[in-house]
Amino acid sequence: MQQKEYLVGVDMGGTKIAVGLLSGDGKIIKETRMDTRGHEGPEIVVNRLVEAINALSEGYEIKGIGVGVPGIVDTDNGIIHYWSTFNWNNVPLGQMLNAQLDKKITVVNDASAATWGEFNFGAGRQSKNMLFMTISTGIGGGIIFEGQLFTGSNMLAGEIGHVTVNPNGPTCNCGKSGCLEAYASGVSIQRRAMDAIKNSTSLLVEMEKHESRPIDTKMVFAAYESGDLVAQEIIEQAATYVGIVLANFIQTFNPDRIVLGGGVMKTNSRFIEKIEEVTQNYVLPSYRNTYEIRRSQLFENAALIGAANLIV
Binding segment (CB under 5 A) for Zn ion, from list 10-18, 170-178, 204-212, 256-264: 170-178
The CB-of-312 to ligand ADP minimum distance in angstroms stands at 25
Q: Which option in ligand ADP, Zn ion, none does residue 221 bind, with CB closer than 5 to 8 A by kind? A: ligand ADP
Sheet holding 61-69, edge to edge: 28-35, 16-23, 5-12, 61-69, 104-109
- Give dist(CA 53, CA 124) in Å, integer: 28
Q: How many CA atoms lie within 13 A of 55 on its CB side?
A: 11
Binding segment (CB under 6 A) for ligand ADP, from list 18-26, 195-203, 231-239, 264-272: 264-272
**CA torsion, points 43, 44, 49, 55, in degrees to nearest 10?**
120
Q: Are 184 and 246 in contact (CB under 8 A)?
A: no
> Which is closer to ligand ADP, CB of 101 or CB of 197?
197
Q: With CB under 6 A, what is the number of residues at the site for ligand ADP?
A: 15
Size of the chain, expressed as the number of residues it contains: 312
Neighbours of 200 (CB within 10 A): 12
Instruction: Decide: is 188 part of the binding site for ligand ADP (CB under 6 A).
Output: no
Instruction: Decide: is 187 part of the binding site for Zn ion (CB under 5 A).
Output: no
Instruction: Decide: is 172 part of the binding site for Zn ion (CB under 5 A).
Output: yes
Radius of gyration of the chain (CA): 20
Residue nearest to ligand ADP (CB): 186
* Residue of 155, 174, 194, 229 interacting with Zn ion (CB under 5 A): 174
* Residue of 88, 221, 224, 241 interacting with ligand ADP (CB under 6 A): 221
Instruction: Decide: is 245 part of the binding site for Zn ion (CB under 5 A).
Output: no
* Residue of 8, 28, 78, 162 interacting with Zn ion (CB under 5 A): 162
- Give dist(CA 234, CA 220) in Å, integer: 8
> Which is closer to Zn ion, CB of 159 or CB of 216?
159
DSSP character for 86? Answer: T
Instruction: Decide: is 194 part of the binding site for ligand ADP (CB under 6 A).
Output: no
Instruction: Decide: is 86 part of the binding site for ligand ADP (CB under 6 A).
Output: no
Q: Hey, which residues does 7 pair with through a beta bridge?
A: 22, 64
* Residue of 141, 178, 262, 306 interacting with ligand ADP (CB under 6 A): 262
- Give dist(CA 234, CA 196) in Å, integer: 9
Angle subtended at Cα 247 by Cα 129 and Cα 125, rounded to the nearest 5 degrees:
25
Secondary-structure breakdown of the chain: helix, strand, coil percentages, each rounded to the nearest 5 = 40, 25, 35
Instruction: Decide: is 187 part of the binding site for ligand ADP (CB under 6 A).
Output: yes
Binding segment (CB under 6 A) for ligand ADP, from list 20-28, 86-94, 144-152, 213-221: 213-221
Instruction: Please give the residue ranges that form the binding site for ligand ADP (CB under 6 A).
Output: 13, 15, 136-137, 186-187, 216-218, 221, 262-264, 266-267
Site of interaction with Zn ion (CB under 5 A): 162, 172, 174, 176, 179
